């Protein structure tokens, strides 16, 4: 991510939908936050509203601290999803995030970052991909709905062939396995799940020209509906080492997320990506010749249909 503030995650009950990936619908066990996550920082700004504690988690940001959660275990391949309701009103300068990240020196990472806005202006969703520590693969899109009015689902499907970024079951980005082109892929490194809210006003809104208005604090984002029941948790951790990742490879080739038709884009997913590119794309590292003069990212020829 552009700014690695200590970050976090949450969860809840849910149905894992195979988002336009197959016709199967997978039902997982009912979750609460305490099953798989813990408060990672800023506990004073973390709240659990509602009658069932742990079904919804509110993360707050003040001028003293942000807040966040992290998963107890890392995951190697699968489907990961959550529902988020973003900060309403003037959220300029704030960054609300959901990402997965490994802990190695040359790490792998997949990011959702929601960049705050001045009231009445649309949120921007920034996604990014790091493979073996190589990043700078930002894409930004406008969302086609008001993400502050209600919860919307954000998810990742990750298998041996591709990574899909999904918003309400619609594919907004794909990162293909392009090892044959010399591009490292996200494999072998289990990744922890994080979420957070933090102050990114040095860059998040109009390149840092619009700062956080602390008169609006606390800034609160809500999380619910998280599900990892169709992903492989690596629970045997010894220091920085992960034991028995073989079980995740075995599950990969036996689970829907690791088999066809989920190993390539469907026609509806290709239509999704073309729709995003035509109507909602704000920034794409693949076409930024000013930032990367003379540099060619080989995977770009595959990642837009």
Question: Catalytic amino acids?
Answer: 109, 113
Neighbours of 22 (CB within 10 A): 16
Q: Which two tokens stand for residue 148?
A: 């502050």
Contact 125, 141 (CB under 8 A): yes
Q: Phi and psi dihedrals of 81, rounded to 5?
A: -150, 160
DSSP string covering 224-235 = EEEEEEEEEE--
Residue 125 tokens, joined = 């969703």
Tokens 């991510």 belong to which residue?
1
Outline where the chain has alpha helix (H).
33-36, 246-252, 267-279, 300-303
Indicate the SS3 state at residue 269: helix
Among candidates 250, 13, 42, 291, which has minimal Cα distance to 151?
13
Rg (CA), the chain: 18
């Amino acid at each position: 991510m552009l700014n690695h503030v200590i970050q976090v995650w949450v969860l809840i009950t849910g149905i894992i939908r195979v988002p336009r990936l197959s016709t199967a619908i997978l039902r997982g066990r009912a979750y609460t936050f305490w099953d798989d996550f813990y408060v990672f920082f800023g506990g004073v700004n973390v709240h659990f509203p509602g009658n069932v504690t742990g079904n919804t988690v509110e993360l707050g940001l003040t001028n003293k601290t942000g807040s966040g959660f992290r998963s107890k275990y890392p995951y190697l391949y699968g489907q990961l999803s959550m529902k988020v309701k973003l900060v309403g009103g003037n959220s300029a300068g704030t960054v609300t995030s959901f990402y997965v990240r490994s802990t190695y020196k040359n790490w792998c990472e997949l990011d959702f970052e929601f960049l705050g806005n001045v009231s009445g202006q649309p949120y921007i969703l920034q996604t990014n991909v790091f493979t073996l520590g190589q990043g700078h693969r930002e894409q930004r899109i406008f969302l086609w709905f008001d993400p502050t009015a209600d919860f919307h689902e954000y998810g990742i499907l990750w298998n041996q062939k591709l990574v899909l970024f999904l918003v309400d079951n619609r594919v907004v980005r794909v990162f293909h396995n392009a090892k044959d082109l010399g591009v490292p892929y996200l494999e072998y490194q289990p990744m922890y799940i994080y979420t957070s809210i933090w102050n990114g006003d040095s860059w998040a809104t109009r390149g840092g020209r619009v700062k956080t208005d602390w008169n609006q604090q606390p800034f609160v984002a809500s999380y619910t509906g998280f599900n990892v029941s169709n992903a492989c948790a690596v629970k045997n951790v010894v220091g920085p080492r992960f034991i028995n990742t073989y079980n995740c490879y075995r599950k990969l080739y036996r689970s829907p997320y690791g088999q066809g038709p989920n190993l390539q884009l469907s026609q509806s997913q290709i239509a999704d990506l073309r729709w995003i590119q035509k109507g909602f794309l704000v920034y794409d590292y693949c076409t930024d010749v000013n930032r990367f003069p003379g540099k060619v990212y080989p995977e770009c020829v595959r990642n837009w249909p």
